[in-house]
Amino acid sequence: MQDIQRLGVYTSGGDAPGMNACLRAVVRTALSNDLDVTGIRRGYEGMIEGDYVEMDRRSVSHIVQTGGTVLKSARSEDFMHKEGRARAAQQLRKAKIDALVAIGGDGTFRGASKLHEEHEFPVIGAPGTIDNDLYGTDATIGYDTALNTAIENIDRVRDTADAHNRLFLVEVMGRDAGFIALNSGIGGGAELILIPETITEMDMVKERILSLMSAQRRSTIVVVAEGDELGGARGIEQALRDDPEFSDIDLRSTILGHTQRGGSPTAGDRVLASRLGVAAVEALLDGHSDVMVGLVNGETKLTPLRNVYGRRKSIDYDLLKLTQILS
């Protein structure tokens, strides 16, 4: 059993709606187990610099419904190096922090695992990223909100696309993963969905668009993940504009970008974040470390951090086939 008196908690990497709800759950679960809690601001940057704040019950009041992260977030270059992690460990010891809960994604867990390995800090990860690309959990905190934001915006684009008989390329986030693209594309009734997990050939894209447009459609929407190898919406738009066959097609691109990262978390994200925050602290108190707490088939499950950042969560290829039937 690990002797933990003071818990440190931080959010790191790209923020995700629901991180605050998770933080609230971590803080309140820790306090109700008689632990003291320190909030580490700005992720690993703040950990290295000693940017720490005492957390009490009231410090997390009324944040369950807010996007962003009250602890702020950062991507730290220094923490990627051994010296940076040694400085962080020194600051943590100075602040009498015995264990950590890390809320973030792939890069956050890679860092947390290294800190555990090199400096023996017990650490539990809670999956917070809109990308939903983490192995060991059916959904990540923030994904449901981002997905709904993407769908709402695709619906809006559909109205104007219909009004003008236009072709729209809608780019959604996902540098390495197509979960948002695939599911927002299906939910938004997109005619074509392009994701990083599959090979996208420009000739196929052109052929499909021409056949859709010649079928007298009111509009065509192509949802493309930013990480698709053809260069996202901008890359595809350029290739289409360079082709004389597309000179008569009225074409626009919309990049949803960081609108998908903000906003009030959905009910699903608030509940998921709350459950995982509680489970993270309970796992630490039960003596677990170097693991991520996830939700699999409705049950909380622990997965070693090295398996989370070392593996890719696969998309559902049956879902991809659906678009061909439905469009």
Q: How far is the CB of 174 from ligand F6P (least distance, A)?
A: 5
Q: With binding defined as CB under 6 A, does residue 85 bind ligand F6P?
A: no
Using CB under 6 A as the binding rule, the residues of this chain from 6 to 35 that contact ligand F6P are 14
Task: Copy the structure tokens of residue 267.
Answer: 């009910």
Pairwise CA distance, residues 60 & 154, whole Å: 34
Nearer to ligand F6P, 256 or 305 (CB): 256
**Paired strand residues for 301:** 294
Do residues 125 and 112 touch, judged by C-beta distance below 8 A? yes
Span between the terminal Cα atoms of the chain, in Å: 56
User: Measured from the CB atom, is 28 or 261 closer to ligand F6P?
Assistant: 261
Return the residue of 124, 173, 213, 222 that touches ligand F6P, per CB under 6 A: 173
Catalytic pick among 51, 131, 133, 290: 131
Min dist CB 173 to ligand F6P, Å, is: 3
Binding mask 286-325 for ligand F6P (x = CB under 6 A): ----------------------------------------
**Are residues 146 and 182 in contact, defined by beta-carbon separation less than 8 angstroms?**
no
Does residue number 104 form part of the binding site for ligand F6P (CB under 6 A)? no
Q: How many residues bind ligand F6P (CB under 6 A)?
A: 10
Using CB under 6 A as the criterion, what x/- string covers residues 119-138 for binding ligand F6P?
A: ----------xxx-------
Q: What's the CA gap between 327 and 325, in Å, rounded?
A: 6
Write the CA distances from 162 to 74, 159, 188, integer angstroms. 40, 5, 14
Sheet holding 299-304, edge to edge: 52-55, 36-40, 6-11, 99-104, 123-127, 291-296, 299-304
Q: Active-site residue 131, yes or no?
A: yes
Q: Which stretch binds ligand F6P (CB under 6 A): 21-29, 80-88, 168-176, 216-224?
A: 168-176
Binders of ligand F6P among 232-261, rule CB under 6 A? 261
Does residue number 102 form part of the binding site for ligand F6P (CB under 6 A)? Answer: no
Q: Minimum CB separation from ligand F6P for residue 105, in Å?
A: 6
Q: Which of 8, 122, 136, 174 binds ligand F6P (CB under 6 A)?
A: 174
Q: Which of 28, 31, 25, 55 is nearest to 41 (CA)?
A: 55
- C-alpha to C-alpha distance for 12 and 309, rounded to whole angstroms: 15
Strand order in the sheet with 251-255: 192-194, 220-225, 167-172, 251-255
CB of 14 to ligand F6P, least distance (A): 3
Known catalytic residues are: 131
Q: Where do contacts with ligand F6P occur on this chain (CB under 6 A)?
A: 14, 105, 129-131, 173-175, 226, 261
